[in-house]
């Protein structure tokens, strides 16, 4: 081939990869130290390994068609699958029978829909009553039952099928090679169990149990889920592996891994050394020695997760690993599949996939929109493993290796795009930070209460949504968490914190410490609500950590401290995914809204909005809202005057500007105007709130002035309600007051 032809082929290949895959493609690079690689890079490779076969241009269209079928399967609940598959490694044809045992969930259910890709043949469908009729529409098989079944009635049928599973885009079953050996394996996540076996391929209906029988050539070993009951000769050159699964399992976690493996085992000892569980490793022969120390950490890692999460969820069966030809790893229930490169033997990958047995396998996200409940928890579990192994410093370093600062929501907004579902930055890295920050918000005590309740919840061996997860944690910890999930699951980006500090001698002893936190991000949410730790390095005393609850765009906090400070650090333990920057204090308004006293109608008012920094007097102006008439604020922040405005809350924004240095600051305040001291203190009719409580001609004059002349507000509405109507003052109140003073002298009503 000519050089220019080679270049053209290379260029075309590169173009195809960059068009249909993620921008970052990893080779099986044995020179990478995956044990110490940044976790964000590890997760990138993980999700590419799951999605790399999905390069079909029509992937989005086909996924949309698949999703549209899910709601048509609400009329039955799968209880049990009995799967028998014969794998012909020469013709690459599967011959299978799947027994469905299910319950009707509606009245008069006469037909049910089964997922099976059109590339696979339906040979027959048979119930105990005989052969059943069926029809096909794309990747859906509609089975007509032998009769109508009412709610709670059980039915069953055997689904006989055969065919070569689809390849290329949407591939979930592979006939491949490792060196000179054949490798046959599956990876069905997210939607693709249906490409190689008939099932109800949804996440919200786990079958209670499986029987699995895989017939292969006698040179092969089969790794699969659950307990290996036996291996029996089927013919002169084939044998069948019989596995039994007695825990609920979602369809995408059913797997097979077939090759000429070297198999070695360990025991996991638990229950005070009274019980053991087998750990089974099926490894490529050339990787056997390498695997001993790499996969050999499994019992130690299980013990760490048991201590933090609860008992290994499948203790009555097993755990283990099988090599397969996909990149990355896949958390198949009780038998994780791992790539044969060094990546598949690295410590963070081993513990990531193991932790899925708790979060992803035992409890599964109910929709791919909620994939962070699987992948975010597993990624966090890597950091948790290193915390238990090596301490807090290693944990924090590891979490920092998962900092995701890009766009997008953790909640997956497009489940038709497999690259979006398994986005390493969002589902894995930011998802892990959500768990980490939830721990920071709750504190360790409540965090582990939440985990205990999560593990033992109604969703154990089931599936749940993000909202159900939130509700469960709120109930378990008695903590309202709407705000947290709204900003970190459904919001984008992260807070950008600027913080400023100011310290001075206090008039009451000690030191007044002022902290201003500003959030400067322009993304959604505009304001992140979070508890924020503040580390204080004292000059002489023992250092301390304060905590503030930041829920505003700009917020001032005040403390009285016992010593002068050397420096302050925001979020010292890095509990928040954020940008942060210390800024030099210039000028800030330091009076908190709640520090302004209430205003009494008709009473002289005097209070001060204090400013630290800059040079007084300041230019002061009200730039928004309503400032009560009759009050003024001067260049030193002193508010004086008196007002007769209606009682209630008056919110305004005040701007202070320092013309000398060019500094400025503004703050929202709310003044509460309350009734004056004479209001309803005596007889109704004292409209002018005079010291003479008995009504007189001055009160009539004041009421006429209010209604018909100046319209200046009354000091007290209640005093003017002389006819006890409860409404706005009007002519009838004037008439009643005149009647009382000069005509009938009938008593006025009492104060309301």
All structural domains of the chain: 59-386 (2.60.40.1730), 496-585 (2.60.40.1840), 593-674 (2.60.40.10), 677-752 (1.10.1330)
| Whole-number Cα distances in Å, 109 to 131, 203, 204, 327 | 18, 22, 20, 42
Q: Whole-angstrom Cα distance, residue 372 to residue 413?
A: 12
Nearest to 421 by CA among 47, 65, 22, 23: 47
Q: Does residue 167 sit in helix, strand or coil?
A: coil
Residue 8: what pLDDT?
A: 32
Residue 678: what pLDDT?
A: 61
Q: In what order do the strands lie in the sheet with 619-625?
A: 599-600, 663-674, 648-658, 619-625
pLDDT at 719 over 60: yes
Name the phi and psi angles at 351, rounded to 5. -75, -30
pLDDT at 115 over 90: yes
Q: Whole-angstrom Cα distance, residue 550 to residue 536?
A: 17
Helices and strands of the chain, counted as H and E runs: 15, 38
pLDDT at 9 over 70: no
Q: Whole-angstrom Cα distance, residue 258 to residue 196?
A: 15
Nearest to 474 by CA among 482, 463, 464: 482
- What does the pLDDT average to over 177-185? 97
Q: Whole-angstrom Cα distance, residue 444 to residue 115?
A: 44
Residue 64: what pLDDT?
A: 47
For the chain, what percent of residues have pLDDT higher than 70?
92
Q: Does residue 55 sit in helix, strand or coil?
A: coil
- What does the pLDDT average to over 139-156? 97
Q: Whole-angstrom Cα distance, residue 548 to residue 440?
A: 13
Q: Which residue has the higher pLDDT, 499 or 34?
A: 499
Q: Whole-angstrom Cα distance, residue 114 to residue 137?
A: 11
Q: Whole-angstrom Cα distance, residue 100 to residue 82?
A: 7
Residue 711 banded pLDDT, cuts 50, 70, 90: confident
Joined together, the tokens standing for residue 228 give 């290996």
| Whole-number Cα distances in Å, 119 to 61, 115, 139 | 17, 12, 8
| Whole-number Cα distances in Å, 215 to 80, 85, 97 | 20, 6, 12
- What does the pLDDT average to over 640-655? 92
- What does the pLDDT average to over 603-628? 96
Nearest to 182 by CA among 53, 90, 320, 51: 90
pLDDT digits over 578-605, tens only? 999 999 999 999 999 999 999 998 789 9
8 Å CB contact between 98 and 161: yes
Q: Is the torsion defined by CA of 474, 364, 574, 407 positive or negative?
A: negative
Q: Which residue has the tokens 């890709």?
A: 117
Joined together, the tokens standing for residue 576 give 């928040």
Q: Whole-angstrom Cα distance, residue 499 to residue 489?
A: 25
Helix orientation angle between 347-355 and 39-51, rounded to the nearest 10 degrees = 60
Joined together, the tokens standing for residue 119 give 């590339």
Joined together, the tokens standing for residue 468 give 């159900």
Q: Which residue has the higher pLDDT, 69 or 744?
A: 744
Strand partners, 235: 238
Sequence-separated (6 or more) residues with CB below 8 Å from residue 241: 212, 213, 214, 216, 221, 222, 224, 228, 231
- What does the pLDDT average to over 440-466? 98
Joined together, the tokens standing for residue 475 give 């109930």
Sequence-separated (6 or more) residues with CB below 8 Å from residue 397: none
**Angle CA 416–420–425, to nearest 5:** 165
| Whole-number Cα distances in Å, 565 to 505, 547, 666 | 12, 16, 27
Residue 21: what pLDDT?
A: 31
Nearest to 556 by CA among 526, 502, 592: 592
Measure CA of the first residue to CA of the last residue in the chain; give whole Å.
102
pLDDT at 66 over 60: no
Q: Is the torsion defined by CA of 635, 639, 641, 644 positive or negative?
A: positive
- For the stretch 544-551, contacts whose Cβ atoms lie closer than 8 Å and that sit 24 or more positions apart, written own/partner, are 545/572, 548/515, 548/517, 550/517, 550/519, 551/483, 551/527
- For the stretch 684-687, contacts whose Cβ atoms lie closer than 8 Å and that sit 24 or more positions apart, written own/partner, are 684/718, 684/719, 684/721, 684/722, 684/724, 684/748, 684/749, 684/750, 684/751, 685/719, 685/722, 685/737, 685/740, 685/748, 686/716, 686/719, 687/714, 687/716, 687/719, 687/720, 687/737
- What does the pLDDT average to over 43-47? 82
165-179, 651-665, 668-682: which range is least confident on average?
668-682
Residue 65: what pLDDT?
A: 53
pLDDT digits over 215-265, tens only? 999 999 999 999 999 999 999 999 999 999 999 999 999 999 999 999 999
Q: Whole-angstrom Cα distance, residue 112 to residue 114?
A: 7
Sequence-separated (6 or more) residues with CB below 8 Å from residue 538: 544, 561, 562, 563, 564, 565, 566
Q: Does residue 431 sit in helix, strand or coil?
A: helix
Q: Does residue 87 sit in helix, strand or coil?
A: strand
Q: Whole-angstrom Cα distance, residue 222 to residue 231?
A: 10
Q: Does residue 463 sit in helix, strand or coil?
A: strand
> 525: cis peptide before it, omega within 30°?
yes
Tell me the whole-structure pTM to 2 decimals: 0.87
8 Å CB contact between 234 and 269: no
Residue 715: what pLDDT?
A: 74
- Helices marked H in 1-140 — which ranges? 3-20, 39-51, 59-67
As to burial, measured by CB atoms within 10 angstroms (0-12 exposed, 13-18 middle, 19+ buried), residue 102 is: buried
Residue 501: what pLDDT?
A: 97
Q: Are strands 154-163 and 648-658 parallel, antiparallel or unpaired?
A: unpaired
Q: Whole-angstrom Cα distance, residue 522 to residue 65?
A: 37
Residue 195 banded pLDDT, cuts 50, 70, 90: very high
Name the phi and psi angles at 29, rounded to 5. -90, 105
8 Å CB contact between 688 and 715: yes
Nearest to 490 by CA among 369, 364, 363: 369
DSSP string, 321-386: EEEESSSSEE--TTSEEEESSGGGG-HHHHHHHHHTTTBTTTBEESSGGGTHHHHHHHHHHHHHHH
Residue 1: what pLDDT?
A: 37
Give the count of beta carbons closer than 10 Å to the beta carbon of residue 482.
Answer: 11
Residue 7: what pLDDT?
A: 30
- What does the pLDDT average to over 298-310? 98
Half-sphere exposure of 609 (CA within 13 A, CB side): 29
Sequence-separated (6 or more) residues with CB below 8 Å from residue 33: none
Q: Whole-angstrom Cα distance, residue 155 to residue 100?
A: 8
> Across the chain, what does the average pLDDT equal?
90
Residue 19: what pLDDT?
A: 31
Give the count of beta carbons closer than 10 Å to the beta carbon of residue 268.
Answer: 20
pLDDT digits over 311-359, tens only? 999 999 999 999 999 988 999 999 999 999 999 999 999 999 999 999 9
Residue 683: what pLDDT?
A: 67
Task: Kindly calculate the radius of gyration of the chain based on its CA atoms and give it in whole angstroms.
Answer: 36
Length of the chain: 752
């Amino acid at each position: 081939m000519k050089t220019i032809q080679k270049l053209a082929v290379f260029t075309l290949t590169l173009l195809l990869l960059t068009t249909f895959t993620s921008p970052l493609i990893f080779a099986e690079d044995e020179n990478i130290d995956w044990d110490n690689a940044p976790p964000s890079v590890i997760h990138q490779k993980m999700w590419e390994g799951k999605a790399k076969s999905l390069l079909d241009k029509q992937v989005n269209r086909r996924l949309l068609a698949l999703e549209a079928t899910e709601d048509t399967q609400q009329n039955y609940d799968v209880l049990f699958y009995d799967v028998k598959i014969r794998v012909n490694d020469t013709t690459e044809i599967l011959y299978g029978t799947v027994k469905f045992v299910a319950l009707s969930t509606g009245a008069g259910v006469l037909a049910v829909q089964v997922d099976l890709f059109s590339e696979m043949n339906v040979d027959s469908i048979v119930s105990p009553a005989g052969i059943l009729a069926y029809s096909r529409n794309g990747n859906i098989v509609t089975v007509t039952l032998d009769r109508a079944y009412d709610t709670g009635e059980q039915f069953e049928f055997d689904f006989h099928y055969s065919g070569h599973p689809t390849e290329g885009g949407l591939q979930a079953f592979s006939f491949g090679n490792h060196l000179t050996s054949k490798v046959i394996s599956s990876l069905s996540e997210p939607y693709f169990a249906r490409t190689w076996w008939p099932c109800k391929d949804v996440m919200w209906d786990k079958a209670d149990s499986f029987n699995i029988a895989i017939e292969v050539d006698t040179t092969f070993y089969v790794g699969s889920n659950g307990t290996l009951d036996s291996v029996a000769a089927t013919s002169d050159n084939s044998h069948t592996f019989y596995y039994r699964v007695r825990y609920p399992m979602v369809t995408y976690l059913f797997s097979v891994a077939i090759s000429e493996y070297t198999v070695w085992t360990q025991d996991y000892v638990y229950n005070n050394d009274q019980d053991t569980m087998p750990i089974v490793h099926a490894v490529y022969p050339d990787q056997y020695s390498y695997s001993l120390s790499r996969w050999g950490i499994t019992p130690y890692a299980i013990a760490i997760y048991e201590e933090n999460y609860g008992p290994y969820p499948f203790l009555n069966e097993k755990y283990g690993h099988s090599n397969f030809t996909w990149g990355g790893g896949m958390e198949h229930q009780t038998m994780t599949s791992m790539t044969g490169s060094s990546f598949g033997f690295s410590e963070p990958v081993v513990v990531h996939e193991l932790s899925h047995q708790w979060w992803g396998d035992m409890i599964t996200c109910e929709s791919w929109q909620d994939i962070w409940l699987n992948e975010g928890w597993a990624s966090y579990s890597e950091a948790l493993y290193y915390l238990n192994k090596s301490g807090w410093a290693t944990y924090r370093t590891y979490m920092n290796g998962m900092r995701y600062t890009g766009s997008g929501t953790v909640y997956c907004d497009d489940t038709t795009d497999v690259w979006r579902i398994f986005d390493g930055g969002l589902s894995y890295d930011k998802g892990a930070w959500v768990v980490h920050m939830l721990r920071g918000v709750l504190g360790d005590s409540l965090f582990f209460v939440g985990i205990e309740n999560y593990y033992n919840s109604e969703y154990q061996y089931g599936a749940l949504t993000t909202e159900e997860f939130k509700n469960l944690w709120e109930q378990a910890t008695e903590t309202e968490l709407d705000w947290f999930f709204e900003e970190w699951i459904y919001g984008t980006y992260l807070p950008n914190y600027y913080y400023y500090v100011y310290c001075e001698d206090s008039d009451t002893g000690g030191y007044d410490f002022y902290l201003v936190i500003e959030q400067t991000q322009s993304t959604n949410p505009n304001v992140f609500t979070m508890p924020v730790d503040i580390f204080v390095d004292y000059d002489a005393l023992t250092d301390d950590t304060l905590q503030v609850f930041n829920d505003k765009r700009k917020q001032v906090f005040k403390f009285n401290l016992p010593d002068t400070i050397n420096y302050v650090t925001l979020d010292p333990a890095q509990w928040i995914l954020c940008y942060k920057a210390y800024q030099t204090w210039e000028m800030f308004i330091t009076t908190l809204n709640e520090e302004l006293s209430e205003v009494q109608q008709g009473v002289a008012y005097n209070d001060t909005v204090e400013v630290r920094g800059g040079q007084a007097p300041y230019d002061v102006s009200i730039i928004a809202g309503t400032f009560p008439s009759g009050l003024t604020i001067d260049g030193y922040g002193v508010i004086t005057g008196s007002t007769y405005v209606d009682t209630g809350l008056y919110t305004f924004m005040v701007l202070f500007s320092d013309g000398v240095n060019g500094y400025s600051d503004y703050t929202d305040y709310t003044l509460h105007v309350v009734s004056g001291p004479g209001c309803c203190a005596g007889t109704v009719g004292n409209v002018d709130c005079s010291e003479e409580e008995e009504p007189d001609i001055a009160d009539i004059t004041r009421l006429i002035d209010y209604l018909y002349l100046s319209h200046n507000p009354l000091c007290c509405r209640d005093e003017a309600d002389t006819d006890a109507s409860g409404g706005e003052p009007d002519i009838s109140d004037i008439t009643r007051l005149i009647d009382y003073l000069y005509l009938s002298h009938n008593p006025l009503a009492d104060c309301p």
